[in-house]
Chains A and B, each alone.
Chain A
């Protein structure tokens, strides 16, 4: 209370908090972030460099061992593929959403946003039902006479890619939708008045202006996909691990902490670097804005 009273004396206009009040209000936030976020990750990074003795060996093992190198490549490739699929599937939906009005717009929005607020485990479980030997997909294929034997779908990398795309698609749609909505309607009308066909208007006016949304959504999907754990762990094959499932294995089965820490270090450094490089494009608040 005294703090609040004092700040009033310091700034009689009352609109701005004093530096001290600002600090005190931010303190719990900084404390939690320092204690539960920065410290544990910093500790891991330190371990990756000093155990069993000060060394870069843990990092060398990530690249030197062909099995591990393949895990890295598979992770990058899977994340890129999921991102590309999300653009191809998501852009038209975002475009449609930005044009739709009334009940139709609400329906599309619910379809996009509801999965975002439902558990990743529920969505992953749903895909594991669909991919089973006698699941919906195999039953449908056999009923249509497309195949006589059920396909092996579960525990394949394709299953991981499809389910990850499903989980991450809303993160692509919402930023693109945000970018499309911020384009004034007049632009398309002006292009039409000047004689441009609808296709040309789209290609030369709408598409370039929506690119920031595409870049932002792609980064969001790509960065999240790189560290994805639940879906590869439940739907993927143990022979085709991704970096997160390899980390989990190192900790839970092999108990090789320094190497797991180095893997986490590589992943975190790469993701953070990309986020810093593209910090201007990443608009996280759009996600919440889009949800409203």
Chain B
């Protein structure tokens, strides 16, 4: 390819950077706003203060919502990783016709609008007393995050040579031992990155949380929704900034894990 120096390339470059600005600026803009002294959210922000962060950390309500979301996201990550890894292993090594059904069902939670699942679960969980409970949130979020764990694990397990397990088993290892001591160490970074993404998806999940939250038990996204809907206080930019930092941390963590898994599988 010729180096892009002609006018067409310049126009393309300018257009692309304008679109990238459209993508990034709204996210970046909340950061200076979170340090603004203004009580109303005017632009440009003035002065510098940490009082909105203090307000977030001092508020019992915000703390309770955050703690609930952390618990739910943590348990969701564990459940989705266990169930997702078992199912993916069956899919990669299995020979059953169930695998086709599995693949269809896997797409379900991505295709079906979250509002449909949210409303269905709202009704169902109320009748069985799971509405507004940690277990209820975890079950719902496990369904929503499973596809992402499975995609990550399918890519990782697909790269592990089945002969490695066969060799371990011919040396006397059981299938479980072969998985535990041969395959699992090879896919561990991918498993961790899948769990990490399940955590952040659950932590940020707004729609199902919106309907399943009770009066007392509100997840962080539900509390944020109410705040934005009713009065849009300057605490929101502070929380948004913290959440963006969390996303960046998780993205970097996932990236580090994936590059580790690449070097490992090429070494193995």
Contacts and interface: CB of A to CB of B under 8 A. Distances in A.
Contact of A134 (B42, B120, B210, B224): B42
A80 interface: no
Interface string A239-283: 000001001100100000100110010011001100100000010
A14 B175 CA distance: 8
B256 interface: no
Given A23-B98, A117-B251, 14 more contacts: A8-B169, A8-B175, A17-B89, A21-B94, A30-B102, A32-B142, A33-B146, A40-B123, A92-B15, A110-B251, A170-B23, A264-B119, A267-B115, A288-B152
B113 A271 contact: yes
A121 B114 CA distance: 15
Interface size class of B (residues with CB under 8 A): 35 or more
Interface of A: 1, 4-5, 7-8, 13-17, 19, 21-23, 25-26, 28-30, 32-33, 35-41, 43-44, 47, 89-90, 92-93, 95-96, 99, 108, 110-115, 117-130, 132, 134-136, 139, 166, 169-170, 185, 188-189, 198-199, 223-224, 226-227, 229-230, 233-234, 244, 247-248, 251, 257, 260-261, 264, 267-268, 271-272, 275, 282, 284-285, 287-289, 292
A264 B143 CA distance: 19
B50 interface: no
In the complex, the 9 A-B pairs of residues with the closest C-beta atoms, listed nearest first? A227-B113, A40-B120, A22-B94, A25-B90, A14-B166, A4-B175, A119-B204, A29-B87, A126-B26
Nearest to A245: B115
B24 interface: yes
Contacts of A285: 151, 154-155
Contact of A128 (B44, B121, B122, B232): B232
Given A36-B139, A36-B143, A126 B165 contact: no
Given A43-B120, A44-B120, A113 B251 contact: yes
Interface of B: 1, 4, 8, 12-13, 15-16, 19-20, 22-24, 26-27, 29-30, 33, 40-44, 82-84, 86-87, 89-91, 93-96, 98-99, 102, 105, 107-125, 139-140, 142-143, 146-148, 151-152, 154-155, 162-163, 165-166, 169-170, 174-178, 197, 200, 204, 206-207, 210-211, 221, 224-225, 228-229, 232, 236-237, 240, 243-244, 247-248, 250-251, 258
Contacts of A96: 12-13, 16
Nearest to A243: B115
Contact of A125 (B8, B15, B140, B224): B224
SS class of chain A's interface: helix, strand, loop or mixed? helix
Given A120-B204, A122-B243, A229-B207, A28 B93 contact: no
Contact of B124 (A4, A40, A234, A271): A40
Nearest to B30: A126
A124 B113 CA distance: 18
A15 B8 CA distance: 54
Nearest to A242: B115
Contacts of A95: 12
B240 A122 contact: yes
A234 B42 contact: no
B146 A32 contact: yes
A28 B206 CA distance: 25
A32 B151 contact: no
Contacts of A21: 90, 94, 175
B206 A230 contact: yes
Contacts of B206: 119-121, 229-230
A95 to B, nearest CB: 8
Contacts of B102: 26, 29-30
Given A16-B95, A26-B86, A166-B23, A227 B228 contact: no
B117 A40 contact: yes
Contacts of B244: 118, 122
Given A28-B87, A123-B26, A271-B112, A93 B123 contact: no
A229 B205 CA distance: 12
A268 B90 contact: no
A135 B29 CA distance: 11
Contact of A130 (B29, B96, B151, B251): B29
A268 B27 contact: no
Given A14-B169, A21-B175, A126-B240, A44 B96 contact: no
A99 B90 contact: no
Contacts of B174: 1, 4-5, 8
